[in-house]
Every structure is written in structure tokens, then in C-alpha cells.
């Protein structure tokens, strides 16, 4: 059987994808790439081989990619050198004889002028680099994470309401668990080469809808007021707060409102809905 390597194995998406892959492939076929292998001890405990690798260390990638057939390139974090990280991974994978690379950029509406610092330009660069590499590719485009929306509605939403940038746009968000299951289906399956998937949740919901699910007020804010609120709540540097605000502005404007059935088709079931997700949170509180 072919060997599958998942990068970013200590992050949520990488780890969840490997766990999903264990449902489809024996552990001996799976490899986890981690910059700090000791942080992947739980994966090693499941029988998955853990190899050390750093996106910015080409020699480490060369060693890690030996004998690998498929690689899932987990997007490098924002506020890092994402272009170099992704280019190194693609170039070294090609040199090592990897035959199939899977990459997950953020969904963008066709003809959209919406951009995000640290994301949009780097995603476009990576997709172009991958398609020109000569390696079979699959582009798996992501919506915002449903289980990450709490970061945007604020940690005090239960007490003061959903206070977000004004806008009635809807968000076809999906959970990391569902996205990981789709990654596993692609990596363990056949016929996905040179295809692009848009993975979206169902149904798309607005921030007003989320407020209704939580039974709290919906409180639209100006962009400046939202920035000041997030800065106070999170205590993060301005560039990071601006990054978070840009995501929220895009969601409020409907940048991720379009839906496809591709996620459901890949995982063989309906993805988890916002009503299910937030209702469970309420039951646990």
C-alpha cells in the first residue's frame, strides 16, 4: 500500500485527519510530520510513524518524504513565511518522488475582490506553484471553521449578545472534524487527482442566526467598534486583531455564503450544522 504523510500533525486539522485516516488505512501506511515529534506522542501511540520536519528546513523535508506517495500540505500559520514554507514543501516533494499533493486554501468567491493579509496572496501563490509542479494535485478549499466561530462572536456572547461587524451575509462554515473526514477520503481514495473541491457546511447561517440559536441579542457593530471590542477582549497585538476582524468582516459580508454538496458527498453524510454545534455547546454549559 502507498504511504500517506500529513504535515502539521500536531495541529488540530493534521491530527484529526490522521485519526480519520486510521478508519481507512492501517497505521503502518501513515506518517505524521511534526516540527517537534515529542508533541505527536499520542499519534505514535496509535502506531503512526512520526517524522521530524520543518517547512523552512528543506533537508528535514527531504528525509521525511522518503518513500512517501501522498502528502497533505497543511497550510502554514499566518504571520509566518507561508510562501517559502509552501514552496519548499512542494519542491522537495517533487524531488523526493511524491506523486500526489493535497493542499487546503481558503475558499474565495469567483470574481471577488475580498482579500486578507497573510492568506489570500499566499494561497494563490501556493495553488499556482502546485499546479505547475508536475505532481498530481488536489485543491481542497475550506470555508471558515464552524468550531472557530466562537472566536469571532466573542467569549462573552452568552452574557452580552453576538456583537459582530454589521452585515446579513451567511456563512457556510464546517467543523474541523468534518473537513478532516473529507481529507481522509481524498487521501485514502482514488480519482481525486487534479481536481478542486469546495467544502462547505449546510445550511449557511448569518451571525443573526447564530444569535437566535444561542437565544441572545444580535448586536451589529461598526468595524472600528468591533476592532476595539476584540482588542480589549483578546489582548493581542493590533495586526492579529486586524486579521481576526477581517475574517469577521468577510463573513458578515457573505464572502463564504455559497454552498456545494461536495463535503457531504466525500464524507457520506450531512455535515454538522451550526444549529447542532451551538445547541450542543448550550447543553454542555
Q: What pLDDT, on the 0 to 100 scale, is given for residue 1?
A: 63
Q: What pLDDT, on the 0 to 100 scale, is given for residue 112?
A: 86
The torsion defined by the Cα of 122, 134, 28 and 26, in degrees rounded to 10, comes to: 90
Contact between 127 and 75 under an 8 Å Cβ cutoff? The reply is no
What is the average pLDDT across 277-283?
Answer: 77
Decide if pLDDT at 116 tops 70.
yes
Decide if pLDDT at 279 tops 90.
no
Q: In 190-245, where do the E strands start and end?
A: 195-198, 205-206, 218-221
**Tens digit of each residue's pLDDT (9 = 90 or more) over 50-81:** 999 999 999 999 999 999 999 999 999 999 99
Q: What pLDDT, on the 0 to 100 scale, is given for residue 123?
A: 97
pLDDT confidence band for 284 (50 / 70 / 90): very low
Q: All 3 cell numbers of residue 266?
A: 466525500
Decide if pLDDT at 283 tops 50.
yes
**Tens digit of each residue's pLDDT (9 = 90 or more) over 156-183:** 898 999 999 999 999 999 999 999 999 9
Cα–Cα distance, 13 to 33 (Å, whole number):
13
**Tens digit of each residue's pLDDT (9 = 90 or more) over 121-143:** 999 999 999 999 999 999 999 99
What is the average pLDDT across 43-47?
Answer: 98
Contact between 6 and 170 under an 8 Å Cβ cutoff? The reply is no
Contact between 34 and 61 under an 8 Å Cβ cutoff? The reply is no
pLDDT confidence band for 110 (50 / 70 / 90): confident
Angle at 123 between CA 120 and CA 129, to 5 degrees: 140
- Which fold would CATH assign to domain 143-174+200-258+267-285? UDP-galactose 4-epimerase; domain 1 (3.90.25)
If one counts every other C-beta atom within 10 angstroms of the C-beta of residue 59, the result is 10
Give 205's contacts (C-beta < 8 A, 6+ positions apart). 170, 171, 173, 213, 274, 275
Half-sphere exposure of 171 (CA within 13 A, CB side): 29
**Tens digit of each residue's pLDDT (9 = 90 or more) over 32-42:** 999 999 999 99
pLDDT confidence band for 282 (50 / 70 / 90): low
Angle at 250 between CA 10 and CA 237, to 5 degrees: 60
Which CATH number applies to 4-141?
3.40.50.720
What is the domain partition of the chain in residue ranges?
4-141, 143-174+200-258+267-285
**Measuring CA to CA, how many Å separate 43 from each of 11, 187, 267, 275?**
12, 18, 22, 31
Amino acid at each position: 500500500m502507498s504511504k500517506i504523510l500529513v504535515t502539521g500533525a500536531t495541529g488540530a486539522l493534521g491530527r484529526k485527519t490522521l485519526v480519520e485516516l486510521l478508519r481507512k488505512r492501517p497505521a503502518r501506511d501513515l506518517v505524521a510530520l511534526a516540527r517537534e515529534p515529542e508533541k505527536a506522542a499520542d499519534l505514535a501511540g496509535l502506531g503512526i510513524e512520526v517524522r521530524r520536519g520543518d517547512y523552512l528546513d528543506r533537508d528535514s523535508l527531504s528525509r521525511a518524504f522518503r518513500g512517501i506517495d501522498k502528502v497533505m500540505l497543511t497550510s502554514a500559520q499566518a504571520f509566518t513565511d507561508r510562501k517559502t514554507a509552501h514552496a519548499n514543501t512542494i519542491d522537495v516533494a517533487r524531488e523526493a518522488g511524491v506523486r500526489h499533493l493535497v493542499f487546503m486554501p481558503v475558499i474565495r468567491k469567483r470574481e471577488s475582490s475580498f482579500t486578507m493579509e497573510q492568506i489570500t496572496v499566499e494561497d494563490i501563490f501556493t495553488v499556482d506553484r502546485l499546479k505547475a509542479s508536475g505532481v498530481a494535485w488536489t485543491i481542497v478549499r475550506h470555508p471558515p471553521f464552524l468550531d472557530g466561530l466562537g472566536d469571532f462572536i466573542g467569549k462573552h456572547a452568552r452574557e452580552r449578545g453576538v456583537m459582530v461587524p454589521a452585515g446579513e451575509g451567511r456563512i457556510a462554515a464546517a467543523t474541523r472534524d468534518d473537513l478532516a473526514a473529507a481529507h481522509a477520503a481524498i487521501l485514502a481514495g482514488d480519482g481525486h487527482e487534479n481536481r478542486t473541491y469546495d467544502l462547505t457546511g449546510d445550511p449557511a447561517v448569518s451571525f443573526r442566526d447564530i444569535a437566535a440559536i444561542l437565544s441572545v441579542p444580535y448586536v451589529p457593530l461598526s468595524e472600528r467598534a468591533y476592532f476595539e471590542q476584540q482588542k480589549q477582549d483578546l489582548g493581542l497585538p493590533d495586526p492579529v486583531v486586524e486579521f481576526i476582524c477581517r475574517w469577521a468582516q468577510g463573513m458578515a459580508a457573505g464572502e463564504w455564503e455559497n454552498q456545494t454538496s461536495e463535503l457531504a458527498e466525500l464524507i457520506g453524510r450531512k455535515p454538522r450544522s451550526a444549529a447542532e454545534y451551538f445547541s450542543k455547546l448550550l447543553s454542555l454549559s
